[in-house]
Amino acid sequence: MKRTLQSEKSEKKSALSLLIVVMMTSFLTTFTGSALNLSVPAISGEFHAGAVSIGWIITGYILASAALSVPFGRLADLYGKKKVLVAGQISFTACAFLCSFAWNIETIVAFRLAQGIGAAMIFATNTAILVAFFPPEKRGKMLGLSVSATYAGLSLGPVIGGVMNHHFGWRSIFYITAALAAAAAFLAVFRLKEPAETTQDMPVRQKNGQTGPAPAEKKRMDLPGCLFSSAMLACMMYGLSSFTSGILPKILFFSGILLFFLFLHREKNTEEPLISLDLFRKNTVFSYSNIAALLNYGASYAVSYLLSIYLQTVSGLDSQTAGLILITSPVFQTILSPMAGRLSDRFSPFLLSSCGMGISAAGILAFIFISENYPPALIIGALAVIGIGFALFSSPNTNAIMSSVEKKDYSIASSVTATSRSIGHTLSMAVVTTVVALTIGNITLEEAPHSSVLYAMRISFIIFTVFCAAGIFFSAKRKEQKS
Contacts of 304 (CB under 8 A, 6+ apart): 326, 329
Mean pLDDT of 337-352: 80
Mean pLDDT of 202-229: 59
396 vs 58, more confident? 396
| 210-213 vs 204-207, strand pairing mode | antiparallel
Q: Give the DSSP H or E segment for 124.
A: helix 105-133
Q: Is 202 left (phi over 0), alpha (psi -120 to 50) or beta?
A: beta
At residue 68, does pLDDT exceed 60? Answer: yes
CATH superfamily of the 275-483 domain: MFS general substrate transporter like domains (1.20.1250.20)
205 vs 165, more confident? 165
At residue 182, does pLDDT exceed 70? Answer: yes
pLDDT in tens, 292-336: 888 888 888 788 778 877 887 787 777 667 777 878 888 888 888
Q: Write the CATH number of the domain with boundaries 7-193.
A: 1.20.1250.20
- What is the signed CA dihedral for 61, 63, 64, 65, rounded to 10 degrees? 80
Confidence of residue 46 (pLDDT cuts 50, 70, 90): confident
Confidence of residue 385 (pLDDT cuts 50, 70, 90): very high
Residue 448 φ then ψ, to 5°:
-75, 150
At residue 5, does pLDDT exceed 70? Answer: no
At residue 196, does pLDDT exceed 70? Answer: no
Predicted confidence at residue 6, as pLDDT, reads 54
DSSP string, 368-384: GG--TT--HHHHHHHHH
Mean pLDDT of 113-119: 89
Give the least confident one: 135-149, 242-256, 440-454: 440-454
Average pLDDT, the chain: 79
Give the least confident one: 125-129, 145-149, 212-216, 478-482: 212-216
- What is the Cα gyration radius of the chain? 22
Rounded-to-integer distance, Cα 168 and Cα 176, Å: 11
At residue 66, does pLDDT exceed 60? Answer: yes
**DSSP-derived 3-state class of residue 210:** strand
Contacts of 94 (CB under 8 A, 6+ apart): 118
Predicted confidence at residue 205, as pLDDT, reads 44
In 3-state terms, the chain is what percent helix, strand and coil (to 5)? 85, 0, 15
Q: Give the DSSP H or E segment for 395.
A: helix 376-403
pLDDT in tens, 246-286: 788 888 889 989 988 888 888 888 877 878 887 788 888 88
Give the least confident one: 102-106, 175-179, 241-245, 278-282: 241-245
Q: Are 345 and 141 in contact (CB under 8 A)?
A: yes
Predicted confidence at residue 258, as pLDDT, reads 92
pLDDT cut 90: percent of the chain above it: 6
Interaxial angle between packed helices 410-439 and 105-133, expressed in degrees from 0 to 180 and rounded to the nearest 10: 130
